[in-house]
Homo-oligomer: A and B are copies of this chain.
Amino acid sequence: MSEKIYVGVDVGGTTIKVGLCDAEGQLLHTYEGATETDKGTDAILHNIARYARNIVEQSNYGWEQVDGVGVGIAGFLDISKGYVKYSANLYIENTDLKGFLERELGKTIKVNNDANVAALGEAWAGAGRGVAHCVCYTLGTGVGGGIIIDGKIVEGFNSMAGELGHIAIVPDLEAIQCGCGKMGCLETVSSATGIIRMAKDAVARGDRTTLAQVENIMAKDVVDAAKAGDEVAARIVSRAAYYLGKSMAMLSIVLNPQYFIIGGGVSKAGDFLFNQIREVFEKYTQDQAKEGVKIVPATLGNDAGVVGAAGLILRG
């Protein structure tokens, strides 16, 4: 039992998920506990440490086998210091998360943001296994992103690299303001929120669409309507796909990754969405840059967070 193991912690607003991985990124064991955001920063920090110990205790592995603990957390960080500047959904600010966990757990600690960590999970042990250069998108409420070059997360000078949802890609004339305050961000059109907004706008405008009969429109309703032949819905999904494809064409000439990996709820639209993205990508990407490049679905689902967090120790 001298095999090394890696603990990955995915800190969400409600639940803290923990995973135990081997050096290949195989998920050996999982654990979940309440975040207890309402009890404040100290409680959250102690819960992270406690759950990290708990998962190892409940497994067949010993604490001495733990080579390190990685943590993924939503918010603005100083990644290299493992410092949380501000996390809106945890109500944490100016907190030395890495320092606390090092003292509490006596192990190597790495901290990164949730989107980068999910990207690393997919690149390390999911759809991108064995691929050195991957760009990952998570299409959910927003558009999350992470960039993996030579197997490692690109962090950037202010820990702000990989924020793909905030690429200003919609031309000024058609741009609306993003939650970040800027105009024309990718997530204004290619997130679930963006798709829902475009659908509601179409209904409010009086466009002829079956979506007018849907009471509380979800992104899935729009995709389903588009698949069923609703032209208004189809135009909305095409627009979401168009800007995703264009962003990938652009990233191909900037970073030239081998794989674009797409996860998150909206990605469940499957080939209906993927093929439209691929078509735009084909059109806008230079031949030399796209040879052998693939746009593929994520494979780890909700496990990407804990697997990627564990991966921070080896690949962070």
CB–CB A250/B167 < 8 A: yes
CB–CB B256/A160 < 8 A: yes
Which one of B76, B162, B246, B255 lies within 8 Å of A156 (CB-CB)?
B255
Q: Report if A171-B171 is in contact (Cβ < 8 Å); known contacts: A154-B255, A252-B160.
A: yes
Whether A149 is near chain B, meaning CB under 8 Å from some CB there, is yes
CB–CB B156/A286 < 8 A: no
Q: List, in ascending order, chain B residues with CB within 8 A of A286's CB.
A: 160, 163, 166, 180-182
> Once bound together, how far apart are the Cα atoms of A132 and B158, in whole Å?
12
Q: Number of A residues contacting the other chain (C-beta, 8 Å)?
A: 47
CB–CB A256/B289 < 8 A: no
Whether A66 is near chain B, meaning CB under 8 Å from some CB there, is no
CB–CB A161/B292 < 8 A: no
Q: List, in ascending order, chain B residues with CB within 8 A of A133's CB.
A: 156-157
CB–CB B158/A254 < 8 A: no
Closest to A134 in B: B157
Q: In the assembled complex, how far is the CB of residue A34 from the closest CB belonging to chain B, in whole angstroms?
A: 29
Q: List, in ascending order, chain B residues with CB within 8 A of A147's CB.
A: 254-255
Q: In the assembled complex, how far is the CB of residue A86 from the closest CB belonging to chain B, in whole angstroms?
A: 9
Closest to A174 in B: B171
CB–CB B253/A284 < 8 A: no
Q: List, in ascending order, chain B residues with CB within 8 A of A251's CB.
A: 254
Q: List, in ascending order, chain B residues with CB within 8 A of A132's CB.
A: 157
Q: In the assembled complex, how far is the CB of residue A115 from the closest CB belonging to chain B, in whole angstroms?
A: 12
A121-136 interface bits toward B, Cβ cutoff 8 Å, 1 = contact, 0 = none: 0000000000011000
CB–CB B157/A284 < 8 A: no
CB–CB B258/A157 < 8 A: yes
Q: In the assembled complex, how far is the CB of residue A300 from the closest CB belonging to chain B, in whole angstroms?
A: 22
CB–CB B158/A289 < 8 A: yes
Q: List, in ascending order, chain B residues with CB within 8 A of A215's CB.
A: none
- A160-B252, A250-B250 are known; give 14 further A-B pairs, CB within 8 A: A133-B156, A133-B157, A147-B255, A155-B256, A156-B255, A156-B256, A157-B258, A158-B288, A158-B289, A160-B288, A160-B289, A164-B253, A168-B246, A182-B285
